[in-house]
Amino acid sequence: MAVLDHPEISNAEFAQFQKLIFRIAGISLPDTKKALLVGRLGRRLKHFGLPGFKDYYQLLASGSEADELQTMVDLLTTNETYFFREEAHFEFLAKTILAEHPPGSPFNVWSAASSTGEEIYTIAFVLADALGLDAPWSVTGSDISSSVLATAERGQYWLDRTRGLPPAYLRKYCLKGVNSQEGSFMIAPEIRRHTHFLQVNLNRTLPAQGKFQVIFLRNVMIYFEAETKRQVVARLVEHLHPGGYFIVGHSESLNNLTESLRAVKPTIYQLPFE
């Protein structure tokens, strides 16, 4: 049977994928996202020469293609981001959190849904300005998607991705691409050496990483149900230093999700000192 250019998916088949992505990543895919799923996964049917979504689901369930489950997750997770997105958070980081930090002591930040890396490097720019390039600070970036993490770790972007990035930072902490890399820019090595990357599923036991002064978890909980949110926040709070800050997206809130953190201002929370 020939593969359709625009394969259709039945309600029952779509429900199977909804359950699968929820089980793997805790993401609640609403019925309104059916067209998105067809558009993003339809190319995988063509790749494997499959006639329909039922066959693709069976392929995933069989485990015969070991990496395909990760490919599906990569395609279904949305990764919109840009430098200095929700700028008020970075102002608070610079003017309040870092201003109170003892000079010379380590400062570690976790970007727990880092996508393609713009958030990681925005944080790094702020830390470099406030603490200096030789200070003991680091930014850890994690995401469930292996493909976006590869982009983040590479640290190279096309110049049309400079949305939100002040020209001063572009000049100070980025390198302009030349020859075959013309039209792109690379995050400077002195910034990148302060960054670390790892693939993390927030709905599973988190890897041992020590404690952080700040954890960013922005614009990802909107895809989780309430109980999933509570579990994810509880896991992450275990990695906060007492007095550390937990920052969520401007459309998100931790109200009724945790009693461990106190609200400092909307979207910014703090773990009380012991």
pLDDT in tens, 225-252: 899 999 999 999 999 999 999 999 998 9
User: Computed over its alpha carbons, how large is the radius of gyration of the chain?
Assistant: 20
Annotation marks residue 193 as catalytic: no
Q: For position 70, what pLDDT does the model report?
A: 84
Q: Which residues contact 57 (CB under 8 A, 6 or more apart)?
A: 13, 16, 17, 20
Tens-digit pLDDT profile for residues 212-229: 999 999 988 888 889 999
Q: Quote the pLDDT of residue 3.
A: 41
User: Average pLDDT over the chain, rounded to whole?
Assistant: 91
Q: Percentage of the chain surpassing pLDDT 70?
A: 97
Residues spanned by CATH 1.10.155.10 within the chain? Answer: 11-76
* b/e burial code for range 127-155 (CB count within 10 A of at least 16 → b): bbebbeeebebbbbbbbbbebbbebbbeb
- Each residue's pLDDT tens digit, 178-207: 888 889 999 999 999 999 999 999 999 999
Contacts of 37 (CB under 8 A, 6+ apart): 9, 14, 17, 29, 76
Q: How confident is the model at residue 78 (pLDDT cuts 50, 70, 90)?
A: low
Tell whether the model's pLDDT for residue 165 goes beyond 70. yes
Cα–Cα distance, 261 to 238 (Å, whole number) = 11
Residue showing tokens 């840009």: 82
**Model pTM score:** 0.86
Sorting pLDDT into bands at 50, 70 and 90, what band is 79? low
Residue type, 184: S
CATH class of the domain whose range is 11-76: mainly alpha
How high is the pLDDT of residue 243? 97
Predicted local distance difference test score (pLDDT) of residue 193: 97
Per-residue pLDDT at 209: 87
Tokens 């998105």 belong to residue: 36
CATH placement of domain 88-270? 3.40.50.150
Catalytic residue among 40, 154, 161, 230: 40
Would residue 143 show up in a list of annotated catalytic residues for this protein?
A: yes
- CA gap 84, 71 in Å, rounded: 28
Helix, strand and coil content of the chain, in percent to the nearest 5, comes to: 45, 20, 40
Predicted local confidence at residue 58, as pLDDT: 93
Task: Give counts: helices (H), strands (E), the chain.
Answer: 10, 10
CA nearest to 108, candidates 88, 137, 74, 71: 137
Which residue among the candidates 44, 74, 143, 192 is catalytic per the annotation? 143
Q: Both tokens of residue 6?
A: 């625009």
Which DSSP letter does residue 219 get? S
7 vs 119 pLDDT, higher one: 119
Residue 98 DSSP code: G
Q: What is the mean pLDDT of residues 32-40?
A: 89
Q: Where in the chain is the domain with CATH 3.40.50.150?
A: 88-270
More confident of the two residues 96 and 64: 96
Which pLDDT value is given to residue 57? 93
Mean pLDDT of all residues in 167-174? 95
Q: In the predicted model, what is the mean pLDDT of residues 58-77?
A: 85
Find out whether 161 and 92 touch, Cβ atoms under 8 Å.
Answer: no
